[in-house]
Amino acid sequence: MIKTIMTFNKENKKDNKKTKIKKKREEGVEIALSELKSMKPFLIIINSIVLLICGIYVLFFNREAMDWRILTGLAFGNAAILLNFYHLGVKASIILRSRNAAYAKRFARVNFTLRFVGALVVFGIVIHFELVNIFTALIPLFYLKIYYTLKALRNKHI
C-alpha cells in the first residue's frame, strides 16, 4: 500500500513537472507571438524599402542582376529571423522562470550554440547551392536590431 502511494506520488510529481514546463513554453509562445504581431507593420515597411532599393539598383544600374534569388534571399532571411526570434522568445521565457541560475546559464548557452550553429549550417547550404542572393538573405538579420533601436528612441530609453 505504501509503495503504491509512493509510486503514485513520484508519477504525479513527474506529471506536475511536465505540466509546468508545458505551461512555461505556452507562455513563451504567447509572448513571442504578441511581440511578432507588434513588429508586423515595421517588417512590411522595411521589406518594401529593401525591395524598392533592389528594384532601383536592377532597373538603373545592373539589369543582369535581376534574378529570382533576390526574392528567395529576402524570403529566406525573413523566415530565418522570424523562426530565430520565435525560438529565442520561447526559450528565454523558460530561462527567466527558472529558479536555478546554473541551469539557466547552461540552458542559455546550449540553446544559443545550437541556434547559431543551425542557422550557420542552413545559411551555408542555401548559399552553397546558390538558392539565395547573399545580400538580400543577410539584410533581414539586422531588422530586429533596427526595430528595437527605433522603439527605444521613440520611447526615449536611449
Q: Which pLDDT does position 41 carry in this prediction?
A: 92
Q: Which pLDDT does position 17 carry in this prediction?
A: 65
Helix, strand, or coil here: 122? helix
Instruction: State the burial class of residue 111 (Cβ atoms within 10 Å of its Cβ: 0-12, 13-18, 19+).
Output: middle
Q: Which pLDDT does position 34 carry in this prediction?
A: 87
Whole-model pTM? Answer: 0.74
The number of angstroms, rounded, from the C-alpha of 144 to the middle of its chain's C-alpha atoms is 9
For the chain, what are the domain ranges? 2-154
